[in-house]
Amino acid sequence: MTKILQNRLLYQLNFLKSIGYEYGQNINFQNSNNEQVELPEDINKLEELVKNCYLCQLSKYRENVLFGSGNIDSNIMFLKESPTISEDECGTFYVGKSGDLLKNMIEKVLKVNCEEVYITNIVKCISPNSEIKHEHVNFCKSYLDKQIELIKPKLIVILGESVYRYFTNDNTAFSEIRGKVIRNNDLDIMCTYEPSYLLRNPSSKGEAYEDLLKIKAIMEQM
């Protein structure tokens, strides 16, 4: 184990101790993940924990952790794949071309301010070359599960095919599930195109607009 890794591990252990965790018997880290740690029941403490996470190699590449943003009492949660370069540099959502487009989708079609909904990522740290691996998703999974548990959204809007695959482990064709409300693990989810896809494929903006109108109708009934 390198000295840098030792220091990061000690930092993580000291942080956990500072927020009330107690150390018990030795854990075999070779076969364990963060699901073995009881996560905080407070969203702010959970965010602080995630911002000090070094469980996977993505922590080496990040400038900032993109935990989540918006109204923690919102009925709607938007779920992205991972931070963009612009988001990682600024430490906030809704920046860069794809961020601007998503902001317009929410504010101009759904007619709500971005601060009124909640947004987060499957993976909280940026990945080099935008390559997300299942191991990265698995390390962040318990964090996302806890976010959902604490925020209790009535609808999760999934942005993009890859996010749907990671979230559901379902290989149904994206064209068959996009724009439909699907029940998954006691959660209502709806998939639409991710903003970066729409920037590359502007002909799909009409379909995305139709999806957003459905989401708007659902929000009005909540």
Are 72 and 98 in contact, with CB atoms under 8 Å apart?
A: no
Q: 49 is in which domain, residue-wise? A: 3-17+37-221
Q: What is the CA radius of gyration of the chain?
A: 18
* pLDDT tens by residue, the chain, 222 residues: 444 444 455 556 545 554 555 544 433 433 344 445 689 999 999 999 999 999 888 888 899 999 999 999 999 999 999 999 999 999 999 999 999 999 999 999 999 999 999 999 999 999 887 778 888 898 899 999 999 999 999 999 999 999 999 999 999 999 999 999 999 989 999 999 999 999 999 999 999 999 999 999 999 998
Residue 23 lies in a domain: no
Q: Is residue 110 part of a domain?
A: yes
Q: How many CA atoms lie within 13 A of 45 on its CB side?
A: 13
The closest alpha carbon to 88, from 58, 63, 56, belongs to: 63
Query: Strand, coil or helix: what is 89?
Result: helix
Burial of 52 (C-beta count, 10 Å sphere; 0-12/13-18/19+): middle
Domain annotation covers residue 53: yes
67 in any annotated domain = yes
Structure tokens at 54: 């070094």
Say what the pTM is: 0.82
Number of domains in the chain: 1
Question: Coil, helix or strand for 26?
Answer: coil
The CATH number given to whatever domain includes residue 89 is 3.40.470.10
Task: Note whether residue 187 is domain-resident.
Answer: yes
